[in-house]
Structure 1
Amino acid sequence: MITRHIGRLGFALAATFALASPSHAAAKIQHLVSPGGIEAWFVQDATVPLIAMEYAFGGGAAQDPADKSGTSNMVASLMDEGAADLDSKAFHERLERRAIELSYTAQRDNFRGSLRMLSENRDEAFDLLRLSLTQPRFDAVDIERIRAQILSGLRRETSNPGSIASRKFLEVAFGDHPYSRSASGTLTSVPAITVDDLKAYKDRIIARDTLKVAVVGDVDAATLGKLLDQTFGSLPAKATLTPVPDIVAAKPPQKFFVPLDVPQTVITFGAPGIKRDDPNFMAAYIVNHILGGGTLSSRLYHEVREKRGLAYSVSGSLLWMQHSGLYIGNTATRSDRATETLDTVNAEVKRLAEQGPTQTELDEAKSYLKGSQMLALDTSSKLAGALLQYQIDKQSIDYIEKRNAIVDAVTLDQAKAAAKKIWGDGLVTVIVGRAAQAAATPIVTAPKAN
């Protein structure tokens, strides 16, 4: 995905947002319904003269045509490249003049947008957003410039072991399902995307029935309601989405090798995960933190880096999508130590699956996750993003208040059951590195990545 630059004034605004009040998590969250029926989760906060809005439409990269992956990403990269009578240069000059940040991204199941502004510039900011949603230009010169940028990134990925491993892992995990395709597309698909494809995607996806909105900042409810109607009210009532089937990721154990002559071997590993609406999701979330949730206290970090010095970093995370769940982890090491690294990861995963975490580990993980929640919501932008994600995840509007109690309620038996469910069958592994490593352990040679 391409992230648009926001200019010098935009960077100043970003810095201002980063200094917003740390009390957001305790703020009152309102369920606002505009006069025209647009719904939003809203926190009014006049601590600083800023407004942050995050919004999403259902669809995302899963709605890309099978032979034209990357369509949604190109649309996201072009939606702020001029609208109505404003070409790209004029549009961005207006954004920068008022220190307005406007951007779009294509995720697996959602087409997301972000708008941030000083409250004194709210009318112009919301109007520019309206224009970008309703009258994007998709000028040929901008399409080709964005296409060239995307293709340049894709060419770099062909020699990047991490990118190759991630793409191959998704292909292995999801086969011919839309989740197997990268949102940024391929060197074959991106050149084939036409302006008609871009317009058709936009017309199918951008509609009111799948819209979700979160707003935090210095604006009152009545004013915000009018702004929401002016911005989103003229959009089509219903999106035209292609049905996406549910899928369970490929069952472990499986192992794949992609030859690449690089000093470090990259290892991507994973297993079927757990969907967000699963009753045992929080237990899985906590036990993933214990295994390799990105902190210095995780089991994988201790065994792989601290104890053996095999890699600089190793971590894993749960990914949840509308139609599936996935556990995925990554590490990189010297080619001559790849086997030892993978064996260490496998052994630790097996031990956790068979024995589960200890009560001490569970208690410490709960404490960390509860404390980190406050830091994750300490700015207007972070809170708006979280409120949007909670809507996408179909959580209740009081989820922030209930979350710590949900964490505390997870028992040791539930954590053990979650560990066994996710890692009981082992791992699917993709190894990218020098061919000599192939002789170290029996593996299947995977086709070379695009």
Structure 2
Amino acid sequence: MIREVLFSIAMGFMIIDTATAAAKIQRIVSPGGIEAWLVEENTVPLISFEFAFRGGSAQDEPARAGTANLLSGLLDEGAGSLDAQTFQQKLEESAVELHFNASRDSFDGSLKTLSEKRDEAFELVRLAVNEARLDAESIERIRAQTLARIRRDSTDPGDVAHEMWSQLAFPDHPYGLRAIGTEETVEAITRDDLTGYRARNFARSNLVVSVVGAIDAATLGPALDKIFGALPAEPKLKPVPETWPGKVGHTEVVTMDVPQTTLIFGRPGLVREDPDYIPAVVMNHIIGGGTFTSRLFNEVREKRGLAYSVYSYLDPMERSGVFGGGVATRNDRAGDAIDIIEAQIAGFAKEGPTADELAKAQKYLTGSYALNFDSSVKIARGLKAIQLNRLPIDYIEKRNALVNAVTVEDVKRVAARILGDGDLLVVAVGKPELASGRGSAAPLTDDQQDVVPKALPSGAIR
């Protein structure tokens, strides 16, 4: 039995009925005032525990970009009286999985444990969050690993394209910095930078927690206080200004000696709070998010055979939003691919979807939604994301109705708003053959600026 349970932890697998889980979400508040969302599920003796501090790599100092990322690799490298080796042995002996990750707008932690080992697991989380040792040997070892990854990424066309796109879209802004940092900035990070980040960013008021598994509210509440209760009440976050992707209409070429060109493209999107966000999700599915059924897939791959795959996405950030996508194609067809993609985006902005496209998108988006919540780990992570996006606790139950309420006119309206004339900021990595005239930078026009919400309406559907 233990072997099967340990295998379940390793795979992050515990099937839970989604509708039942949604109905069972409890909002609990610890004696010390720490809030968490809990789904109690005792079918398998496992606990999935997810938490995050708002802030993330956007809180890095520009000259120390990569601080949050480096810290995320060090929290389980020894804490309290336990050195790095002893801490890892404790995790292994208790069959506990503990991971940390720094994303753009949050610093995340993830725990998976057997319910019978929860006390040991929670203590290890407490130590990592509050008393990570940040020993010199560990710092240098994780720094070396990070530098090796940066060097490896510098030869990957996809990584290079994504990073260059962000730098061009968000100059002089935290979103334009690499979350992992650069060789120069990572080399410059000191132990004081790491402890300073932790002191400023880890606090109770910017913490979200979600828990799924074999634990009840009466047990979880005191555990939250034990793990997080010693943290400061408020963080000392630096303000991150609102911003929107610039240089729309510009194509940047990064020469790399590879047989195909990787293209990353984008323009301003929406923040999650915008009332047009759900119609935008449907719009994106029809354009390029639906993979085999999308317009881009049909035009770029099926009709012309220019690429194996092409995609689009929405990226709602805390202080910005992006509609973007990507494709890889032969160097001599890169210009054709960009032209086709921009033409399809511009055409959709003018015409909107057909009734059939809308119906198929709604069927897929509502039918596949449950797959995001088919295990304890996925439910815990999903609930954490819902909290980070400031959505209501009953969002899982309401989401499909919101998708089904979208009309053709809704999608047409949001497409005109987001997609405009179809111009994109494009980064091409390889040896692309492009039409003459591409590559001139252009600022956002007044019409393109209309995508930016001037104010977020109170009570907006999230």
Give the TM-score band, short-chain normalised.
over 0.9
Matched residue of 1:79: which SS?
coil
1:31 equivalent to 2:27? Answer yes
Where does residue 330 of structure 1 map in the other structure? 326
1:420 has 2:413 as partner: no
**1:245 maps to which of 241, 244, 259:** 241
Count of residue pairs the alignment pairs up: 437
Amino acid at match of 1:428: L
1:294-333, aligned counterparts within 5 Å? 294-333=290-329
Task: Please name the residue that 1:429 is paired with.
Answer: 426
Write the deviation string for residues 65-112 of structure 1: whole angstroms up to 9, x where unpaired. 011110000011111111011111111111111111111111111111
Cα deviation per residue 1:301-341 (whole Å; 9 max; x = unaligned)? 11111211111111111011111001121110111111111
Q: Structure 2 counterpart of 1:314, which letter?
A: V
Cα deviation for residue 27 of structure 1 reads 4.0
Q: Distance in 2 between matches of 1:197 and 1:69?
A: 10
**In 2 relative to 1, CA 286–324 (structure 1 residues): closer, same or farther, beyond 3 Å?**
same
Decide whether the 8 Å contact of 1:59 with 1:109 is kept in 2: yes
SS in 1 for 2:48: strand
Q: Deviations over 1:17-48 (max 9, x none)?
A: 32433446444111101111110011111111
CA distance in 2 between counterparts of 1:90 and 1:404 reads 47
SS of residue in 1 equivalent to 2:50: strand
Map 1:49-448; keep pairs closer than 5 Å.
49-250=45-246, 252-425=248-421, 426-434=423-431, 437-438=433-434, 440-444=435-439
Percent identity, aligned pairs only, is 49
Q: 1:84 to 1:10 in 2, by over 3 A?
A: farther
Residue 433 of structure 1 and its aligned partner are, at CA, apart by 1.0
**How far did 1:252 drift?**
2.1
Gaps of 5+ in 2: 442-462
Deviation at 1:251, TM superposition (A): 5.2
Note the C-alpha offset of 1:282.
0.3
Secondary structure of the corresponding residue to residue 296 of structure 1: helix
Q: CA deviation at 1:52?
A: 0.6
Match of 1:3 in 2: none
CA distance in 1, matches of 2:87, 2:210: 24
Q: Could you say which residue in structure 1 is the equivalent of 2:9?
A: 14
Distance, in Å, in 2 between the alignment partners of 1:307 and 1:101 is 46
Q: Structure 1: 5+ residue runs without aligned partners?
A: 1-7
Preserved contact between residue 168 and residue 247 of structure 2 (Cα < 8 Å):
no
1:208–1:52 CA distance, 2 compared to 1 (3 A): same
State the Cα distance separating 1:60 from its structure 2 match. 0.4
What CA distance in whole angstroms lies between the structure 2 residues aligned with 1:361 and 1:152?
45
The code of the aligned residue for 2:436 comes to: T
Q: Distance in 1 between matches of 2:393 and 2:233?
A: 24
TM-score by length of 2: 0.92
Local SS of the residue matching 2:328: strand
- Contact 1:82 / 1:132 at 8 angstroms: preserved in 2? yes
Asked if 1 retains the 8 angstrom alpha-carbon contact of 2:333 and 2:433, the reply is no
The 2-side partners of 1:14 and 1:312 are apart by: 35
TM-score w.r.t. length of structure 1: 0.94
Q: CA deviation at 1:360?
A: 0.9
Give distance in 1, aligned partners of 2:261 and 2:195: 41
Query: Residue 193 of structure 2: SS of its match in structure 1?
Result: helix
